[in-house]
Amino acid sequence: MFDQFKNKLPFDEKHWNDYVGYFKRIQVPSKTTLLQEGKISKKVFFIEKGCIRVWFNNNGNDVTFQFFLEGDRVSSTESFKKNIPSIVTIETIEPCTLWVIGKKDMDKMVSEAFEIPEVREKLIDSLFDRNIHYMKHCLSFIKDTPQQRYLNLIQEKPQIVQRIPQHYIASYLGITTVHLSRIKSKLAREKK
Amino acid sequence: MFDQFKNKLPFDEKHWNDYVGYFKRIQVPSKTTLLQEGKISKKVFFIEKGCIRVWFNNNGNDVTFQFFLEGDRVSSTESFKKNIPSIVTIETIEPCTLWVIGKKDMDKMVSEAFEIPEVREKLIDSLFDRNIHYMKHCLSFIKDTPQQRYLNLIQEKPQIVQRIPQHYIASYLGITTVHLSRIKSKLAREKK
DNA sequence: GCAAGACGATAACATTTGTTATCGAATGAG
DNA sequence: CTCATTCGATAACAAATGTTATCGTCTTGC
């Protein structure tokens, strides 16, 4: 059942039995807050079913920063790692089935993983990959129009556009719902 | 003389003598390309004097992504780490005095640093810090107006606004030079 | 020192994006 | 099932931002 998260876990397939007991399966309704902004993150979530968004509070109106779907790992990484208050809120969008692991267990896993050179290398690589991902995300805001960003999103994560309420997508793209609506209708018109 | 880079180097102060020979001091004129987009990065630069920008090629017009000043370390991190073609170009803005280290030496330093737990921890922390930095940079494009981003830049790196040509700053902020000019004159008017 | 080009300010106009309001369809609680 | 609420589309208008062009100043190479 962990097939889904294989490449998101800091250990090798053959060690599953050692660690599987660390994880707890939970079900939560939609709009559940998994981590509140300002709190210190003590858990990491793996999504078996459902979707989640991570958002920032920008004096009152929320700014959606990332979406997560089945097979993804979700946490406020920096809060979790450094024991500092999270700057983001983590919230379910749909009813979710999640696997949860606590900080102590996760830390144990990670530190043991670090003893194995190739696993260590994989973990560090994933940090670099995250960096590259964020860089490109930034860049997209500088060089692309909102319409282009919307098209990119459709291309890269088509499920998101289908499953997720439009106002979350608009805030993710950095525009208003009205403008997103305009973009959609313009694209539909051009398609004909 | 390495005081300037103390916290950017992957080893402890007391090991300087072991490594100092790896670095070469060079002087280059302004507008020198230190790494061309598409090439694989084999060097890391440390700025003793001068400033540098990192930019993306966006079909013809360049998009400045980051500025670096005295004391900063500059490289195309992902290209350097993974031996893949760089997506960015690194270019001097002013005549620069730099310290350069090649990949083989750098790798040696890093792998040795990883044997020392507290240095390893520091290195990994810095990867997380980079992540947080990029996240916040992204976020700024979603939630702030160009004027606010300009004010942030003045606050965080006042030197940049003073030393760096305006068209680079405009592209860094994601706006045109004309618009930056408007923002500046508007701010000047309001100040009076 | 001079000429060519780079740089920054500004204006006029065009386009994009935000704001507010309205409407109908979809959704969810009871 | 029904009513209240949420969600998405659309319109009219306002504000922000881009485009193009012009001008004067400042660099820079020669």
Least confident of A54-63, B28-37, B104-113: A54-63
Residue A165 forms part of a structural domain: no
Chain A's closest residue to B141, CA to CA, is A141
Helix or strand run (H / E) with residue B22: none
How distant is C1' of D23 from CA of B187, in Å?
23
Residue B25 forms part of a structural domain: yes
Where does residue B190 rank: exposed (0-12), middle (13-18), buried (19+ CB within 10 A)? exposed
How many domains does chain A divide into?
Answer: 1
Torsion, Cα B136 A131 B129 B154, to 10 degrees, reads: -40
The 3-state DSSP class for residue B115 equals: coil
Q: Going by C-beta distance under 8 Å and a sequence separation of 6 or more, which residues neighbour residue A4?
A: A46, A48, A70, A71
Distance, in Å, from the CA atom of B145 to the CA atom of A106, rounded to the nearest integer, reads 39
Q: Going by C-beta distance under 8 Å and a sequence separation of 6 or more, which residues neighbour residue A52?
A: A34, A45, A67, A68, A72, A74, A90, A91, A92, A93, A96
Query: Which residues from A are below 8 Å from B130, CB to CB?
Result: 131
Residue B185 forms part of a structural domain: no
Asked if A143's CB is within 8 angstroms of B63's CB, the reply is: yes
Which residue is closest to D18 in terms of CA–C1' distance?
A: B176
Residue A184 forms part of a structural domain: no
Distance, in Å, from the CA atom of A69 to the CA atom of A4, rounded to the nearest integer, reads 11
Chain A's closest residue to B56, CA to CA, is A139
Query: Which residues from A are below 8 Å from B10, CB to CB?
Result: none
Distance, in Å, from the CA atom of A152 to the CA atom of B176, rounded to the nearest integer, reads 23
Question: Which chain B residues touch A if contact means CB-CB below 8 Å?
Answer: 56, 58, 63, 65, 77-78, 81-82, 124-125, 127-128, 130-132, 134-135, 137-139, 141-143, 171-172, 174
Residue A164 forms part of a structural domain: no
Residue B24's CATH number: 2.60.120.10
Q: Is the pLDDT of residue A60 over 80?
A: no
Chain B's closest residue to A175, CA to CA, is B142
Residue A136 forms part of a structural domain: no
Q: Is the pLDDT of residue A191 over 80?
A: no
Band of residue B191 on the pLDDT scale cut at 50, 70, 90: low
Residue B119, strand partner residues: none
Q: What value, to the nearest 5°, has the Cα angle with vertex A129 and ends A176 and A166? A: 20
Asked if B143's CB is within 8 angstroms of A58's CB, the reply is: yes
How distant is C1' of D1 from CA of A56, in Å?
39
Asked if B134's CB is within 8 angstroms of A135's CB, the reply is: yes
- Domain range for residue A97? 2-115
Band of residue B10 on the pLDDT scale cut at 50, 70, 90: confident
B137-153 average pLDDT score:
94
Q: Is the pLDDT of residue B14 over 90?
A: no
Band of residue A1 on the pLDDT scale cut at 50, 70, 90: low
A59-70 average pLDDT score:
88
How distant is C1' of C14 from CA of A6, in Å?
52
Residue A69 forms part of a structural domain: yes
Distance from CA of A54 to the nearest CA of B (A): 12
Strand D nucleotides within a 7 Å radius of protein CB atoms = 7-12, 16-21
Please, which contacts does A58-63 make with residues 24 or more away whose CB atoms are closer than 8 Å? A58/B143, A61/A171, A62/A89, A62/A171, A63/A171, A63/B139, A63/B142, A63/B143
Chain B's closest residue to A126, CA to CA, is B127
Distance from CA of A161 to the nearest CA of B (A): 19
Residue B86 forms part of a structural domain: yes
B52-59 average pLDDT score:
89
Asked if residues A63 and B143 have their Cβ atoms less than 8 Å apart, the reply is yes
Asked if B127's CB is within 8 angstroms of A127's CB, the reply is: yes
